Amino acid sequence: MKRVTAVLAALAVGAGVLTGTGTSGAEAALSRFREQDVEWKACGDAMLDQAGAQCAEVTVPLDYSRPQGSTIEVAISRLKAPDTEHRRGIMLSNPGGPGGAGLHFMLYIKGAMAPEVTSRYDLIGMDPRGVGRSAAIDCAWPIGHMLWSAGLDRADFRGAVRTQADLARRCARREGDRLAHITTRNTARDMDVVRGALGEAKLSYFGMSYGTYLGAVFAQMFPHRSDRIVLDSAVDPAAYMAGSIRNSGPFNEAALDEWASWTAARDAEYHLGATRRQVRALVESLIRRSARSPIRIGEHLLDERFLPMTLFTLLPDARYNAHLAGRVRLIADAADGKPVQPSKDFDDELRFTLTGRPRDLSSQAAVICGDAVVPRDPEWYWRNIRRSRAGQPVFGPYANNITACAFWAPPREPRTVVRNHIPALIVQATRDTRTVYQEGVALHRVMSASRLVTLQDVRMHGIFGRLPNACVDNAVNTYFRDGSLPAADITCHAD
């Protein structure tokens, strides 16, 4: 009987740790992490140190179902609240990705925050587990990431299947069991450990893109630890992440049309076509030409798998229209045999994408594949790609492509179902190409106490701190300052 009781107790502890809600046994097992001393020090990073930030490492369990087992260190940064008399608490943050390092994130966001906000919160940046300084995942991939186009035909798709299977094998071989613990739910648990270690009863939060999913998961798992939550450019938890990528295909195609019209009106400058149809036809012809013979850009060879992604990276922000037009002009010149040299940012982007240097984004795959099950049959993807081509000739083969997740070990936990009454402010642009507007609406629906701030007729992903807008900025700052959500959903327009 004692042995049965002990087993049941152990199961109860494990269940409490896994759900995030906790039991008395689970709380006791985690108390040593939540009560640890945090030693702040210089960050050893010029930008953070010059901004007056401090950094620290917080010890967390690798596997929360075994809190007495192996541990890892999670790196955090802090911009300390100068107004100690009116200090509100801590504000954690995440810049997106997944796989985005977050130690610097608050340096960029702080500029859009009202003084009454920055003076009252310790602004906490964090490299999530598996990223940057936090026990980074490194699968030594020969390319930068797993999200790219399936190409033009069946042979291209077969190559994609082989490559994605190889990426998954490399991660399993190099990272082993550690890989399974790099998940959003575990990052949410890490956030709660950080909260406890910093001596706070609750945490406020600002998340962008994937960071909105992390924030929603945290609020679902730790509702009583959630204070003021702002989610900018939101992910639909029910679609995350493969569904979100598929949803983005038509919106990237529409953004390409919008950009093509803008470029056609400036044909005297870019010479890419005098009509939208001509500009789009040129782009599609470049993809076909790169399939026949990869296009040399400096030291790089650009083919039909990755050329669409060089457009994708600039489409989320309409302010980059000229940048994108110049990029396409350069690719067209290179395809015609003219020697070209990419700008430094384009050269860095190509080096990362095509070679995985200086470091691949396998940490992104670890989170996406560890969070949710995806279909494993390559034919499922191929059918979706074929169906998408008529309406999405450029981005359909990307948005519907197979990924390494189809060959990954099954997730250790079920996908998080988000449905709660936690107050939150959700900010979403109607022409967002990454996390499309309907995703923000869906998150608003399942977080029933939230308010939705719509930025109407603007192509932008990640708004606050990136695109100045008095209406959006006021809503975010008012909530962080006073805790006052708008009385109803509001619509903002471009300044």
**Cα–Cα separations (whole angstroms), residue 296 to 144, 311, 336:** 18, 16, 10
Overall size of the chain counted in residues: 495
Within 201-275, residue ranges assigned H as helices are: 210-221, 242-264, 267-270
Q: State which H helix or E strand residue 70 sits in.
A: none
Pick the catalytic residue from 149, 432, 444, 473. 432
Query: What is the distance between the terminal CA atoms of the chain, rounded to a whole angstrom?
Result: 70
- Residue 432 falls in the annotated catalytic set: yes
What is the rounded CA–CA span in Å between residue 268 and residue 487? 49
Report, in this order, helix, strand and coil percent for the chain, each rounded to 5.
50, 15, 40
Tokens found for residue 193: 């450990």
Asked if 295 contacts 258 with a C-beta cutoff of 8 angstroms, the reply is no
Pick the catalytic residue from 104, 145, 181, 461. 461
What is the rounded CA–CA span in Å between residue 289 and residue 378? 26
What is the rounded CA–CA span in Å between residue 236 and residue 154? 31
Q: Which of 363, 319, 321, 291 is nearest to 469 (CA)?
A: 319
- At what angle are helices 210-221 and 184-197 packed, to 10 degrees? 70
CB atoms < 10 A from the CB of 304, how many?
23
Asked if 385 contacts 395 with a C-beta cutoff of 8 angstroms, the reply is no
Pick the catalytic residue from 134, 204, 209, 362. 209
- Residue 293 falls in the annotated catalytic set: no
Within 101-241, residue ranges assigned H as helices are: 105-109, 115-118, 154-175, 184-197, 210-221
270: Cβ contacts below 8 Å, ≥ 6 apart: 263, 325, 326, 328, 329
What is the rounded CA–CA span in Å between residue 349 and residue 98? 18
Q: Which of 227, 238, 234 is nearest to 192 (CA)?
A: 227
Cα maximum dimension of the chain: 86
- Residue 303 falls in the annotated catalytic set: no
Q: Catalytic site residues?
A: 209, 432, 461
